[in-house]
A and B are shown apart, each in its own frame.
Chain A
Amino acid sequence: MKETKRKMYDSGLLFLLVSFGGVILFYLWPFVVSLWFAFTDSPVRGNFAGIDNFTGLLSNKAYLLGLKNTLAFIGMSVPLGMILSLLVAILILRSGRRKELFILLFLIPLVIPSGSTIFFWKALFLNDGYLNGILVSLGFGKIRWLETSAVRYVILLIFLWKNLGYNMVLFLAGLHNIPREQYEAASVDGSGAVSTFFQITLPGLTPTLVLTAIMSVINSFKVFKEIYLITGNYPHESIYMLQHFMNNMFYALNYQKLSAATCILVLMITMAVLLLLNLERGFEQ
């Protein structure tokens, strides 16, 4: 018996080694090597620079602007995205027969490649685009959507359009996991819709909420692809994100700043995820 267990243990290790090797080779090792750049003064034949690159970032206007905008965007898009997708998920659950159709509709943006949607967004928001055409026909003035701070709302819309379906699926699964008996008991006790939502639905969704929040934060970074394709390397200052800074540092060959910014970002995301997981644990207890 003991021998069989040992054999199983060994073959399990072998299977793990392949994927573990991949993670080390393609994720951990490049990260460790890039750590070296974060402590040098030049990417080629550089000397050890201590924490100069990190302190330099804290006084770098572009980095601070990117950080501020990224945090503001996460602060705005994650809660809004979660509230809307939860609302949609609840509505779909109640919609009865057309449930599958609505789920499919909300999932479509996930499978459309970003590149092909850019044409649509540009056509919609350009100075001479459809939206300004509608505004003008209604007697309003044109809005320079992509060249003023209004662009913030454009990217928020793109983020919501792209991620609503994903979060909705997570919430649908979470809602299914809440035992029906709890709702029935609440109904018998005369609990109203609002009270049921806050007393049963929301506490029952705590693990899903944490997971959705983590995924939304990660997806909020991914919206950079669309921003970049629509507005380029140097967009309006209100949507200059950390990814712009890092992407531009790559092209500027400033690998030391890029690595230092990556380290800080990894640290921040790790801390945010740990905080959310702790919160979840606290709720469960």
Chain B
Amino acid sequence: MKKRIALGCIFVLLFSLAGCSQSKEASVEQLLEEELSGEITVSCYDPMIYKDFFEKAAKSFEEKHPGTKINVETFAKMPDIKTSEDSKIAVVTVTKEEESQESADYIGKINTELMGGGGPDLLVMDILPFYKYADSGLLENLQNYMDADKGFSEGDYRSNIIEAMKYKGGQYLMPLDYRFDYIAYDSSLLRGDDESRLKAMADRISYNELFQIEKNSFLQENSDSSGSVRMLGMPADQVMLDELMRCDYDEYIDLENRKVSLNDGRFASLLESVKQYGTDGYLRPNTPADQLGTGDTGVPFDMSVIEKLRSEEFFFKSKSHNSLREEVLRTEGAKDGFQSFGFGGGITSGDERNDKILGLLSGHNGNKSFKYFNALGINSNSSNKALAWSFLKYLLSEEIQNDPQMMIIGLPVNNAAREELASKIITSNYGNEASSEDDQLTAEQENLVKRYRETVESLSDTLNYWPIQDDTIKEMIQQETKRFFDGSSSSGEVAEALQKKIELYLNE
């Protein structure tokens, strides 16, 4: 009897183990030859940016491929949207409580599904720890699909962006868009040969050098006036620290090689620099959000505060690529009326009337960083990878990337779509003239579109760095550096504590 029970147990065990073992899978080439059918699910956390975009794309994909179904699922709650308006200006604020539990729940849900051998077919990497999934073999290497698919040509996309997002030699993430910040300077504040000195360093910009060049002008400017002209419109806290680290992130925390170098003195001196910039008056004493206040829903903002924020002067600004339109229109002397499109840099940029583009912030190794809004990976557990790849390819197509909604998200990675979108961006609301796609561009508009494209493309060409970041590490840095900025710990103590914590986290 005992023998029988023991044998039974062994059989059941072997049977279940056999179920866990690897089954022979079809090659990518074979997968791509399959006829598209069935359904897949695209999962994303944030409903605000992604939901409409994916649902629209899913609908048009289904129309093109009858017999297929694309489900779009989101997890987080929609944020509160508040609008304040007076005769001159409309302010729309989108407020969302930091729901760390909500995001942890979403990651937990996806993790459980993935580890159970299931999960959504396409994962939008808005908050998901993509590198952990790649390490666990849960994401498909999209390079294999790109190579095997004859209908996919890498030359049609921004290859430097896609290339920079490789992880351990594999392409586990496919960006749909990219965004970057550039440095602008206020030409009205410069003195003597400052402008030519700045232009000479446009290829390798660092904040330290910028501040050195403008130090005298800064002192003179502030001795003449009320002392309210700052070097940069950022607060002397975590925000500035992030900005200083963004092009050299790997030098401090190298996630790919699990290496941490925070206790060699460089990070401590970075912390000290931020504090020193604050003490010297180079940076804002508080954030614009502090000045503005969040207010209650329905209660209008104090417009005088907004006006004050918009009139603030800074020698330098770190502005989003979205401001490039305004910059080009201003530089090219476009006719009045274009400003109604909005103030490109937002209220944090202060007075932008004399702003000029300098270039991109550069790291020690010449790194020029970018981010994305929208990037996806294919789940290795997916039972319909052919459809998942086909939909992903569709999202990358000119047809979808050309959607004006892309304009408010980021710059499309599809080259043709980006080119076409440039004219839409320039002509939208330009000179209060209504424009449609079929309208013939005027000579002035054509020139503006050309200049805008050149500006975007020349800056984009140099982008080469996408530092992989981890939310847990971000939180650790935030918690520890808070102690430095509030004066309760020294820079050395914070650097040492972070070194130990992050090292432990990465080498578990």
Contacts and interface: CB of A to CB of B under 8 A. Distances in A.
Given A44-B117, A127-B488, A62 B508 contact: yes
Interface stretch (A161-169, A190-198, A244-252): A244-252
A251 B115 CA distance: 11
Given A45-B380, A234-B504, A252 B138 contact: no
A274 B244 CA distance: 57
A255 interface: yes
Nearest to B508: A62
Interface stretch (B16-24, B161-169, B292-300): B16-24
A36 interface: yes
A61 interface: yes
A62 B501 CA distance: 10
B472 A233 contact: yes
Interface string B106-121: 0000010011010000
Contacts of B114: 44, 253
A245 B505 CA distance: 9
Contacts of B138: 44, 253
A237 interface: yes
A259 B137 CA distance: 18
B488 A36 contact: no
B500 A237 contact: yes
A61 B505 CA distance: 11
Nearest to A33: B16
Given A36-B17, A44-B115, A147-B497, A253 B136 contact: yes
Interface in A240-279: 240, 245, 248-249, 251-255, 257
Nearest to A148: B497
Given A42-B137, A44-B381, A252-B132, A240 B115 contact: no
Interface in A33-64: 33, 36, 40, 42-47, 60-63
Contacts of B508: 60, 62-63, 245, 248-249, 252, 254, 257
Contacts of B111: 251, 253
A32 B13 CA distance: 8
B372 interface: no
A42 B138 CA distance: 9
B252 interface: no
Contacts of A248: 505, 508
A127 B133 CA distance: 37
A65 to B, nearest CB: 7
Contacts of A47: 22
A237 B488 contact: no
Contacts of B504: 61-62, 65, 234, 237, 240
Contacts of B476: 234
A44 B507 contact: no
Contacts of A127: 488
Interface string B483-504: 0000010000000010011001
B102 to A, nearest CB: 16
A62 B507 contact: yes
Contacts, number: 63
A135 to B, nearest CB: 15
B240 to A, nearest CB: 24
A240 B16 CA distance: 35
A45 B137 contact: yes
A65 B381 CA distance: 35
Interface centre among A44, A46, A237 (most CB of B within 10 A): A44
A152 B138 CA distance: 38
B263 to A, nearest CB: 13
A104 B488 CA distance: 42
Contacts of A253: 111, 114-115, 132-133, 136, 138
A42 B136 contact: yes
A257 B488 CA distance: 38
A180 B472 CA distance: 60
Contacts of A252: 132, 508
A234 B505 contact: yes
Contacts of A32: 13
Contacts of A42: 136-137
B505 A44 contact: no
B380 A60 contact: no
Interface centre among A45, A46, A63 (most CB of B within 10 A): A45
A254 B135 CA distance: 9
Nearest to B111: A253
Contacts of B17: 36
Interface string A112-125: 00000000000000
A40 B5 CA distance: 27
A237 B505 CA distance: 11
Contacts of A65: 504
Nearest to A63: B508
Interface in B316-367: none
Contacts of B20: 36, 40, 46
B260 to A, nearest CB: 12
A68 to B, nearest CB: 13
B235 to A, nearest CB: 23
A234 B501 contact: yes
B495 to A, nearest CB: 14
A44 B119 CA distance: 12
B16 A44 contact: no
A254 B22 contact: no
A32 B14 CA distance: 11
Contacts of A245: 508
Contacts of A46: 20, 22, 137
A45 B472 CA distance: 27
A147 B480 CA distance: 10
Contact of B136 (A147, A234, A240, A254): A254
A128 to B, nearest CB: 10
A44 B138 CA distance: 7
Nearest to B506: A62
Nearest to A235: B501
A251 B22 CA distance: 24
Interface of A: 32-33, 36, 40, 42-47, 60-63, 65, 127, 147, 233-234, 237, 240, 245, 248-249, 251-255, 257
9 contacts: A33-B16, A36-B17, A46-B20, A47-B22, A62-B507, A62-B508, A65-B504, A234-B472, A237-B500
Given A234-B504, A255-B115, 7 more contacts: A36-B17, A45-B137, A46-B137, A127-B488, A251-B111, A253-B114, A253-B136
The 4 closest A-B CB pairs, nearest first, are A62-B508, A253-B136, A42-B137, A45-B22
